[in-house]
Amino acid sequence: MMTAIPLKQIPICTQVGSLVLTDENQQLAAQMKNKILANGGYIEQQVICTSQIHPHMTELNYVLSDFAAISTLRAKGAPIAALGSGTLLCCPERQHLFLQRRSPSTTLYPNKLSSFGGHYTPDRKNYVFGALLDTLIEEVKEEAGINLLDLSSDFVNDLPPIFMILETNTGGVQFTPLAFALTPEQADQVKGCDEEGHIETYHLVDDLEYLLDESKWAQMGFSCFMTWRDLGFPIQKSWSYQKKD
With vertex at residue 84, the alpha carbon angle to CA 89 and CA 176, rounded to the nearest 5 degrees, is: 40
In-domain check, residue 238:
no
Answer whether residue 73 is part of any domain: yes
Confirm whether 115 is domain-assigned: yes
The predicted-structure confidence for 82-138, as pLDDT tens digits, reads as follows 999 999 999 999 999 999 998 887 777 889 999 999 999 988 778 889 999 999 999
- 91 falls within a domain: yes
Considering only CA atoms, which of 187, 180, 183, 186 is closest in space to residue 237?
180
- Answer whether residue 171 is part of any domain: yes
- Give me the number of domains the chain comprises: 1
Name the amino acid, one letter, at 65. Answer: S
CATH number of the domain bearing residue 46: 3.90.79.10
Is the pLDDT assigned to residue 243 strictly greater than 60?
A: no
What pLDDT score does 2 carry? 65
Could you tell me the residue range of the domain that residue 87 belongs to?
Answer: 3-230
> Is 80 inside a domain boundary?
yes
Predicted pLDDT of residue 65: 95
Band of residue 193 on the pLDDT scale cut at 50, 70, 90: confident
Question: What's the confidence (pLDDT) of residue 241?
Answer: 63
Residue range 204-228: mean pLDDT, rounded: 96
Q: Does the predicted TM-score (pTM) go above 0.85?
A: yes
Residue 239 lies in a domain: no
**For the residues of 20-83, what is the DSSP string, one character each?**
---HHHHHHHHHHHHHHHHTT----EEEEE-SPP-TT--EEEEEEEEHHHHHHHHHTT----BE
